[in-house]
Structure 1
Amino acid sequence: MRLAAPLLFLVLALFAPPAAGQDRAGVERQFSAWLEQAVWPRARAEGVSRTTFETAFSGVRLNWDLPDLVPPGATAQTPKRQRQAEFGSPARYFAPNTVATATRIGREMARRHAGTLAAVERATGVPGRIVLAIWGRESGYGRVAIPHDAFEVLGTKGFMSTRAAYFTDELIAALKIAETGAVPGGAMKSSWAGALGQPQFMPSSYLRYAVDGDGDGRADIWRSEADTIASIATYLQRHGWVPGRDWGFEVRVPASVSCTLEGPDQGRPIEEWEAMGVARVSGKPFPVHERRGEGFLMMPAGRNGPAFVVTPNFYVLKDYNMSDLYALFVGHVGDRIAYGMGDFEGAWGPVGGLYRSDIAAMQRALEGMGHDVGGADGLPGFKTRRSIGRWQESLGRPATCFPEAGMKAALAR
């Protein structure tokens, strides 16, 4: 919504950066003004009533404990530590107890909801085991308490975070959900990032993908397990899940195949990977129907952990959560639920313990050499991993394709 010139002047005056050392009470006043002068006009234009707006923000204050905040007048910096588990230590993320619990309860849920899962798979093409694994990872199959007030989280991050515009849009979407009356009383709770309900949908995703799975006329992802199952599957279907294809396979990658070949932009038919010596760790051949399909090398810890050939469906899982480890967890737990598979054969090395700020420094150094690392965000995604490998190969070293503590000084030379 465009603001008229006088109102725009008022907003700029109200939200001007505070003087150095201004106390939090002053920022709280700016927050209240921002809600009234910037958020309310947008919400009203989207059909949100004044009653809904005032109810949503009754008693809401800034939550100063949330990550990635940039108070007015401050400068955004790369966080030193990594709070989100999906971008931390792979070994910790795949802790045996975590995987075993998700698998055990997932099998219980597979039996309990067999009819719903089968119907949803017929309708969307998304396997029930994948839906279960996402449900388990996101909310422990609805058993994990969701602690935060969604309007407090989204309001705080919309007002002062590194992605303020994104969270402001999500705040408007949350108000639109509240306006519908679909949320049960007191249930507008979220994660620290503003994700809602058992599938942990951001508010905009709820508006696009939440569906009625139990036939009661509502999409209740807070209390209805059938709605949760159907909504997760609908999300994946609309993001391009390819029916009939798997998510991927654990493989052995011979030394003759460089880890710099990783990435969704370097796909080739799986039979070509096979011809290069890439083989399944199980010793079984790749399924016949998969061999001519496109596959992608995925090495989330470089040479320091398990390796995979993944299909386009792996990247659909990443649309749900952008982390490689998340998508891998979902595929792996889904396979364990359905097929009784064990742990990965490849072991996770001692990686993932670096500060984000250190990895960001390496990324900036690699960018200075002309590498595309995908942005200096401190997260070792596939572009960063293979850029490290290419840098190592340029020096005549074996490529490991993962950031290591000693690289920061070496890259700075």
Structure 2
Amino acid sequence: MIFVKALLLSTPLCPAGTRPLKRMLLALCAALVLFVLLPIGSSQAAKIDDQFQAWLRNDLWPEAQAQGISQATFHAAFASVLPNLKLPDLVLPGTKPKTPKKQHQAEFGSPGSYFAPISGVTAGGRSRAGQHVATLAAVEKRFGVPGGVVLAIWGRESGFGAAKIPYNAFEVLGTKAFLATRKDMFRKEVLAALEMVERGLASPKDMKSSWAGALGQPQFLPTSFLKHAVDFDGDGRADIWGSVPDTLASIANYLAHYGWTKGRDWGFEVAVPARVSCALEGPDQGRRISDWAAMGIARIGGKPFPQHEARAEGYLLMPAGRSGPAFIVTPNFYVLKQYNESDLYALFIGHGADRIAYGDKSFAAQWGKVGGLYRSDVAAMQRGLEKAGYDVGGADGLPGFKTRRSIGAWQAKNGRAPTCFPDKELVGALR
């Protein structure tokens, strides 16, 4: 309506009138402008709907049929489904993909604000640790994953099953397989969702998802459900929508599949001396934790690293560069990232698990005022670093560890104090 009002005030269709006439003229012109504008959007949407139905018939259905999906299953899944053009990261017909200006996922936004809900997750986790003590013990015995970790994921993903998951999974996955920037990935997911229905693992009406197509209390994509969902309550069905034992075991099974090491921690908050470069960050620059300690990196609070950890490999993690807490993490941290490819997500889960097990205690270091840049600005800065010969892991607008350490290396080379995190001045210097 703000857009319409602005248009009214600037268009010759709506001349200025006397005060008694002005309201009537504005109302009449509003109706006229909307009459002119709306059919354009409706016509485009109708055209995309037609293209979507043709894609279902001529493209997706033949592949689904070749993979053993029946016509009855296919029709039941896509009955009355139209593409949802409100979903993020879509590329409409006739347009080219581009880095979005804003970031839709909280995991890649401001580090400090991301941890705001952690108290609710940890309080809820401690409560449920008591309710499900036998199940959690059995899950840890079978899969080797601590109960606190499983609870933190359950709480973060779906509020322990309380979060509303309102979308039709076939609408979301179908739309994204047809229009998203990662069509191939979502095509695999929609075919896996069809397989779930074909095999009787879920009915189409049960297939409720997030805006990203993730299902149930653990928020599994369909391919993950087929690989990792577990029937742990013994009723013959892996029910990640309604069964707590199945949900907890499925989360643990997922982490075990990706290499969770029983008996190792996820990581430790540390103090990093200024003489240790923040550009040493990353899972490809690991060294024994005792070697990090020899460089002057120490645990917060003064405790030594546990002996079994000191002998093993660890990695420097600085999610906000020099403007936030720093960590030495273990391979288990990167197993957590298999659940969600974000340093902040894995850090939230590890830290949340510690708080569930040992009591609420915040990080010692504070998060600085970072993370306020537009994603498109970060992508422009990344392209500048790439032109200068740095590996940023792709100019996607997300400041991952390759981008952070490349920033630090560029800053050091150009006589600046390395911060290893993007800011407005860097964006201006590297655009």
The answer to whether TM tops 0.5 is yes
Residue aligning to 2:143: 124
Residue aligning to 1:141: 160
Q: Is the 8 A contact 2:266 2:330 kept in 1?
A: yes
Within the candidate set 87, 98, 101, 1:66 is matched to 87
Residue aligning to 1:88: 109
SS at match of 1:249: strand
Answering whether residue 183 of structure 2 is matched by residue 174 of structure 1, we say: no
Residue aligning to 1:77: 98
Within the candidate set 213, 228, 232, 2:247 is matched to 228
How far did 1:303 drift?
A: 0.3
Deviations 1:323-348 (A, max 9, x none): 00000000001000011140001100
Residue aligning to 2:6: none
How far did 1:68 drift?
A: 0.5
Query: Number of matched residues?
Result: 391
Aligned equivalents of 2:224 and 2:333: distance in 1? 19
| Greater share of residues in helix | 2
How far did 1:52 drift?
A: 1.2
Answering whether residue 404 of structure 2 is matched by residue 379 of structure 1, we say: no
How far did 1:187 drift?
A: 2.0
Identify if the C-alpha distance between structure 1 residues 284 and 267 changes in structure 2 by more than 3 Å, giving closer, same or farther. same
Letter in 2 for 1:52: T
Answering whether residue 231 of structure 2 is matched by residue 209 of structure 1, we say: no
SS at match of 1:406: helix
How far did 1:182 drift?
A: 2.1
Instruction: Give RMSD over aligned pairs.
Output: 1.3
How far did 1:181 drift?
A: 2.1
- Which 10-residue stretch deviates more, 316-325 or 172-181? 172-181
Query: Where does 1:2-401 land on structure 2 (aligned, <5 Å)?
Result: 23-95=44-116, 98-183=117-202, 186-401=205-420
Query: Taking every aligned residue pair, what percent have the same amino acid on both sides?
Result: 63
How far did 1:395 drift?
A: 1.1
Aligned equivalents of 1:387 and 1:123: distance in 2? 41
Residue aligning to 1:4: none
SS at match of 2:424: coil
Aligned equivalents of 2:180 and 2:134: distance in 1? 43
SS at match of 1:194: coil
Aligned equivalents of 1:213 and 1:133: distance in 2? 19
Residue aligning to 1:10: none
Residue aligning to 2:19: none
SS at match of 1:400: coil
How far did 1:356 drift?
A: 0.6
Runs of 4+ aligned residues of structure 1 deviating over 3 Å after TM superposition are none
Aligned equivalents of 2:369 and 2:94: distance in 1? 39
Aligned equivalents of 2:314 and 2:414: distance in 1? 29
Gaps of 5+ in 2: 1-41
How far did 1:185 drift?
A: 6.7
**Bigger Rg over Cα:** 2
Letter in 2 for 1:310: V
- Which 10-residue stretch deviates more, 45-54 or 219-228? 45-54
Aligned equivalents of 1:45 and 1:108: distance in 2? 48
Letter in 2 for 1:78: T
Gaps of 5+ in 1: 1-20
Task: Give the TM-score taking structure 2 as reference length.
Answer: 0.89
Deviations 1:267-317 (A, max 9, x none): 000000111110111211111110011000000000000000000000000
SS at match of 2:383: helix
Residue aligning to 1:404: 423
Aligned equivalents of 1:348 and 1:406: distance in 2? 19
